[in-house]
A and B are shown apart, each in its own frame.
Chain A
Amino acid sequence: MMDPALLQVKEEYEKYIGRKILFIIFTSVLIVIIAGISATLGSYPISVSEVYSIILKCLVSHPENTKEAIVWNLRMPRILLAIIAGAGLASSGAMTQGILRNPLATPYTLGISSAAGLGAAIAIILSKGIFAGKYVVIGNAFLFSLIPTFVILALARVRGATPETMILAGIAMMYIFSAVTTILMYFAEAEAVKSAYFWMVGDLGKASWEINPPVLASFLICFILLMWKTWDVNVMMTAGDEVAKSLGVNPERERIFVMLVSAFLTASIISFTGTIGFICLVAPHICRMIIGGDYRYLLPASALFGGALLLTCDTIARTILAPVILPVGVITNCLGGPMFLYLLIKRKKEYW
């Protein structure tokens, strides 16, 4: 039994797993550090030590003055929403890439964002005034974003849930929904059009203790469900549909399940934030390059990395030109893009 070659391989394997776990721990710590820095940054003058004592105090009691409210009701919810949204978008992106076996696939490829955009645009255009429509916009964006998923589901019943069918159907719907939105814009008032465009750009400005809990709950539930399916996605990624079946995985059923969960997760995030692009594409890829494609580690790593990335981007977006707040999507693209390219050039072996 004491085969030296085998022992060496086992050691190598443990190191390999250890590296993945280390990356996950590293990103967790990174999030805490960035959150700690982010909380101290803002236009309102509050010293670093004050910020931390306020956070400690508000963990047990309510904020009592403006300074405390700024830290606790303004900065903290935004930081948390950035982490949750980043983690959620990255998780659903990672899983969608896996089930569709396509490096370019994201929940947006399935038409979710353009459908949400249409839902929001309809609500914004039809609602009377900006005060009537707050929850109508969120609700409508959410409901609409689930439409493409159900269309794909119906199509899969007829044509089979193959990645090709799903991607092509998703892209077709993306064009349809964008077209309908464009048509709608032509008949809407100019101001409503502008508001709808602002919605679509996407930002974390709506964060609050009121909005965060439902988003967090949706993230946690979906994340657990996705975690539960990581083995099956691993099988589908490495073995293909036929072999997956022989390994006891029903690829079509799992594909649809994961799509539904990812779509729900994405929808529940973007209906509050608008379309924040790129995180769901780039975060999983960066993690895949660093720790490989095993979803048991890739999914939590992507979630954590996505959270860290969006938090970093949002912190930069709201501070770099302060008091001018840049759209966070601009920063994700500026930061994520070059990072992605760098890793693409530096990577030693094929990762996808």
Chain B
Amino acid sequence: MVKIRIRGLEFSYNSIPALKDVTIDIHESEIVAIVGPNGSGKSTLLKCIDRILKPQKGGILINGKDVKDFSQIEIARTVGYVPQSVKQFFPATVFEVVLMGRRPYLGWRCSKRDIEKVFEVLKILNIENIAMRDFNELSGGQQQKVLIARALVQEPEILLLDEPTANLDIKHQLEVMEIVKRIVRMNGITAIIAIHDLNLASKYADRIVMMKDGKVFAIGTPEEVLTSANIESVYDVKVKIIRFNGKLYVIPLTLNQSSD
């Protein structure tokens, strides 16, 4: 079943085009990785899906309904967004940060249910022991988990993650990706992950969208997309693809000599 239908999407920042004619279908309960070099439009695409940015052209349908027709609360209850980097954060406890994810459900008071939900998610992510710690004092991996927790308490059908593994050590990279995989499988939600690491994409994604200059270059299963030809033309890098334990791994070789 198609969960998100993206048709002819165009977006530009002050007339500098970032997305050009992007058309993708994303199915229910699948993990889709969006890969591509810096500036290829990965983050922009995620922000368009969550209506943080408003595309100039084309449309995005979620459950068959145009996102433009969603109310702000509706979209917040449907889509959870985990931002790329944690910039300057104002002191708040982990609990407070995660509780913000309940905003789409809150009246003025937060009910017992909201608080229970926060504890539940903290428990699932196994971070309940840091609930009263200050967010800023946490390590990068812990912070990333807290931000995922915040998106999860939104009880979304779709989870958007922007570079969730950037700046994490290898253990935390795997940990974060395992969490994403677990919750997707457990709750039947759809996850779209913008990610640089092609090996993580190959390991965890059901399908991969490869982007270049704001356009979809290739789309399909890791086997279909992660070919050395594709990678060479998108990244200008010569690679070797090897298969290990049933998964593809990309080994970078050299910079393409023909590149400028």
Contact = CB atoms under 8 A, between A and B. Distances in A.
Judge A-B direct contact (beta carbons within 8 Å): yes
Interface of A: 3, 5-6, 9-10, 12-13, 16, 101, 227-228, 231-232, 234-235, 237-240, 242-243, 245-250, 292-294, 349-352
B134 interface: yes
B197 interface: no
Contacts of B123: 3, 6
A10 to B, nearest CB: 6
B92 A246 contact: no
B73 A16 contact: no
Contacts, number: 99
Contacts of A13: 95, 115, 131-132
Interface of B: 47, 50-52, 72-73, 75-77, 79-81, 83, 87, 89-93, 95-97, 100-101, 103-104, 106, 108, 115, 119, 122-123, 128-129, 131-132, 134-137, 150, 154, 160
Given A9-B128, A12-B132, A234 B76 contact: no
Contact of A234 (B77, B100, B128, B135): B100
Contact of B75 (A227, A248, A349, A352): A248
16 contacts: A6-B128, A9-B128, A9-B129, A9-B132, A13-B131, A235-B100, A238-B96, A238-B97, A239-B100, A242-B83, A246-B52, A246-B76, A247-B100, A247-B101, A249-B103, A351-B91
B131 A247 contact: no
Contact of A246 (B81, B87, B91, B128): B81
A130 B134 CA distance: 56
Contacts of B93: 16, 292
Contacts of B72: 245, 248-250
Contact of B51 (A10, A231, A238, A245): A245
B249 to A, nearest CB: 33
B90 A231 contact: no
Contacts of B77: 248
A289 to B, nearest CB: 10
Nearest to B89: A238
Contact of B119 (A6, A231, A349): A6
A120 B130 CA distance: 53
Contacts of B132: 9, 12-13, 16
Given A231-B108, A246-B79, A249-B103, A293 B90 contact: yes
A5 B103 contact: no
A352 B52 contact: no
Given A234-B100, A247-B154, 19 more contacts: A3-B123, A5-B128, A9-B122, A13-B131, A228-B108, A231-B103, A237-B90, A238-B90, A238-B100, A239-B97, A245-B51, A246-B52, A249-B103, A292-B92, A293-B90, A293-B96, A294-B96, A350-B134, A352-B90
B28 to A, nearest CB: 20
A243 to B, nearest CB: 5
A230 to B, nearest CB: 8
Given A12-B131, A238-B92, A350-B136, A243 B83 contact: yes
A324 to B, nearest CB: 42
A104 to B, nearest CB: 14
A239 B81 CA distance: 11
Nearest to A232: B103
B69 to A, nearest CB: 15
B91 A293 contact: yes
A241 B170 CA distance: 30
A153 B103 CA distance: 26
What 6 A-B pairs have minimum CB-CB distances, sorted nearest first?
Answer: A248-B76, A246-B81, A248-B104, A247-B103, A245-B52, A9-B131
Contacts of B96: 234, 238, 292-294
Contacts of A3: 123
A295 to B, nearest CB: 10
Nearest to B73: A248
A101 B51 CA distance: 23
A256 to B, nearest CB: 16
Nearest to B74: A248
Given A9-B119, A13-B132, A350-B134, A231 B106 contact: yes
Given A9-B132, A231-B103, A231-B106, A101 B52 contact: no
Nearest to B131: A9
A228 B108 CA distance: 7
A291 to B, nearest CB: 12
A3 B128 CA distance: 11
Contacts of A352: 90-91
